[in-house]
Amino acid sequence: MTSTFYNETKLGEVNYRLSATTDSGDSLVLDLLGSLDSGEVIADGRLRMPVEGAATVGRLLSRVLGAHTRLRTRPSRHANANQPWTESLDTELRTAWLTPSEDSAPKLIKSLADSMQRSATAIRARLARVGCDPDVPGRELSPTAAILLGASSGTGQGKT
The predicted pLDDT at position 146 comes to 80
Mean pLDDT by 10 residues, the chain (160 residues): 87 90 83 92 91 86 78 71 93 96 94 95 94 94 83 48
Half-sphere CA count of 121, side-chain side, radius 13 A: 3
Per-residue pLDDT, 136: 94
Q: Show the domains of the chain with their CATH numbers.
A: 3-73 (2.20.25), 87-149 (no CATH)
The whole-number pLDDT of residue 152 equals 55
